[in-house]
Amino acid sequence: MAEPIVKYNKVTKYFDDLQVLDEIDFEIQPGEKVALIGPSGSGKTTFARLLMMLEEITDGTIEVEGEYLWHEKDDKGNLKPASSEHQRKVRSNIGMVFQHFHLFPHMTVLQNIIEAPVTVQGRDKKEATKAGKDMLDKVGLLDKADAYPAQLSGGQKQRVAIARALVMQPKVLIFDEPTSALDPELVGEVLEVIKSIADEGEASMLLITHEMDFAKEVADRIAFFDGGKIVEDGPPSDILYNPQSERLKDFLERFMNTQ
Amino acid sequence: MVWDWSYAFDILPEIASALSVTISATVVGFILALVLGLIWTLLIRSTNKIVHHVANGIVRFIRNTPLLVQLYFIFYVFPSIGIALDPFTAGVIGLGVHYSTYLSEVFRSGIESVGPGQWEVATALNFTKRKTWTRIILPQAIPPVIPVIGNYFITMFKETPLLSAITLVEILQTAQNIGASTFRYTEPLTIVGVLFLVLSYPASLLIRRLELKIAERY
């Protein structure tokens, strides 16, 4: 098997005295699509946010393409907290789509998409604009290039947010409950876009979701979180149809009942 | 008390010419207040506890002591520690520093109105700290507070006569000088009031229009 693109090593996270992640080991292979499921408060969102560096890691290490994300080696080879330059360099491999989109309200759709490529990656504006328009076309919103976020529906906003993350060409793309904030009738269009990206996909995906059917369809692997640990981890068919642990059985049962 | 039109027209040019001092003190003082106000805000937001507390303490101290006392201090006490300033410089510094503490509060409220999601997405898109401020946060934080900033500008303009207390010959001082030499105060002081009104009323209308324009956009 190829080298994993992401490697969690005994990752622990506390919020003050509350432990949310307990010595988690986890790997993502290049191009692999992994869905994270589990009850709310089980740690799956924190798990993903640590990879995007939106939370401080308490203990353990995360490697991206063989480089430490939160740490650097000093002259003697010991780990020390990474400088912000090092963090930014390693973090540039990761992208994220948020539950609440977080588009820049003061920019048009196209500006939203090309802002980071130009400002952060230093790409040529013409090239970035072309790449941005290609992305907009891919998510079916080329006609909205000059609209402001306030003029879009929730589903359209999320599709723009996806295009904005994609144009940065991340090697790992995190989706944090991308459809949870949407009206039911808008969920489909967003899932469809995510699925088409997954199908094309060189990028690895880490997908936090409550849409089990979708997880089954898109993911190569599902990891079930409970109580700050990964309780089960395997192919969708095993996880969803042949759960081993009581906790996963309970979770799936409760989930089916509420559907 | 009789209003003498010809006397009023005689002294009008002299008082009006002092307006340039009033206006330049306002403009320079306000630019100082804007820059310093933003610096206060950023220092107060610092994650370094010492920087936070020191900046916060200074801002509170300045905001809760009278401008007139501060002006006297800068003009009459600073020379004893070797900093002798001319009235204009001392006045501009006094106004600028005093108003920077109010503007810092305005900037703070503007910045806090930008949700945490914008900071997170800036991290996710790998923005540097600086670019996060200049491209994402400030462009959203400033426009909604522009009307409040404008109101402070007008308030500060109307406070410039305080600078006459540190011997700056702005329009109030000019009017007083005229009054003192002719023993007629009605016309010069009325002219001062009217000049302030003529400038600040249209300015406040302009700010009102700006406010509506901004409300439309957001």
| Alpha-carbon gap, residue B113 to A172, rounded angstroms | 31
Cα-based distances in Å from A83 to A7, A59, A68, A73, B126: 20, 17, 11, 11, 14
Query: Which amino acid does the sequence have at A212?
Result: M
CATH number of the domain at B110, please.
1.10.3720.10
What does the block give as tokens for A246? 């009581």
CA angle A203, A229, A238 (to 5 degrees): 65
Q: Tell whether A105 lies on the interface with B, counting CB pairs under 8 A.
A: yes
C-alpha distances out from residue B43 to A124, B40, B52, B125, Å = 34, 5, 6, 25
Q: Are strands A79-81 and A71-73 parallel, antiparallel or unpaired?
A: antiparallel
Compute the average pLDDT of residues B62-80: 95
Handedness of CA A143, A148, A150, A154 (dihedral sign): positive
Instruction: Say which DSSP state A34 is in.
Output: E
Q: In the predicted model, what is the mean pLDDT of residues B169-189? A: 92
Chain A residues in contact with B118 (beta carbon < 8 A):
102, 104
pLDDT at A75: 85
Q: Report in angstroms the alpha-carbon separations of B152 from A226, B40, B57, B161.
A: 54, 17, 22, 16
Give me the phi and psi of A94, to 5 degrees please.
-110, 140
- Out of 3.30.70.330, 3.40.50.1220, 2.40.50.140, 3.40.50.300, the CATH code matching A1-93+173-181+202-259 is 3.40.50.300
Quick one: angle between helices B5-44 and B87-112, nearest 10?
A: 50
| Local structure of A245: helix, strand or coil | coil
- Cβ distance of A120 and B125 shorter than 8 Å: yes
Residue B213 has pLDDT above 90, yes or no: no
The per-residue pLDDT for A76 is: 85
In which domain, by residue range, is B33 found? 5-217
Orientation of helix B49-63 relative to helix B5-44, angle to 10° = 160
Distance CA A115, CA A133 (A): 13
**Chain B within 8 Å of A115 (Cβ-Cβ)?**
yes
For residue B94, is pLDDT > 60? yes
Residue B135 is which amino acid? Answer: R
- Closest C-alpha to A21, from A63, A50, A53, A52: A50
pLDDT at position B216 over 80 = no
pLDDT at B188 over 60: yes
Determine contact: B50 vs chain A, CB below 8 A: no
**ipTM score over 0.95, yes or no:** no
Structural domain boundaries in chain A: 1-93+173-181+202-259
Q: What is the mean pLDDT of chain B?
A: 94
Asked if A88 is an interface residue toward chain B (Cβ–Cβ < 8 A), one would say yes
The three-state secondary structure class of A213 is helix
Distances (CA, A) of B196 to A91, A216, B19, B133: 56, 72, 9, 37
- Residue B11 has a pLDDT of 92
The band of B175, judged by pLDDT with boundaries at 50, 70 and 90, is: very high
Confidence of residue B211 (pLDDT cuts 50, 70, 90): confident
Q: pLDDT tens, A111-123?
A: 999 999 999 999 9
pLDDT band at B218 (very low <50, low <70, confident <90, very high): low
- Is B118 in Cβ contact with A115 (below 8 Å)? no
B interface mutation test: which of A56, A104, A108 has the most B CBs within 10 A?
A104
Question: How many of the other CB atoms lie within 10 Å of CB of B135?
Answer: 20
pTM value is 0.87
pLDDT at position B9, please?
93
A245 touches chain B (CB under 8 A): no
The pLDDT assigned to A254 comes to 85
Amino acid, res. B32: L
Residues (pLDDT < 70) of chain A are 1, 258-259
d(CA B29, CA B37): 12
Mean pLDDT over B202-206 rounds to: 93
Partners of residue A170 in chain B, C-beta under 8 Å: none
State how far residue B170 is from chain A, nearest Cα, in angstroms: 42
**Which residues neighbour A216 within 8 Å (Cβ) at sequence distance 6 or greater?**
A222, A236, A237, A240
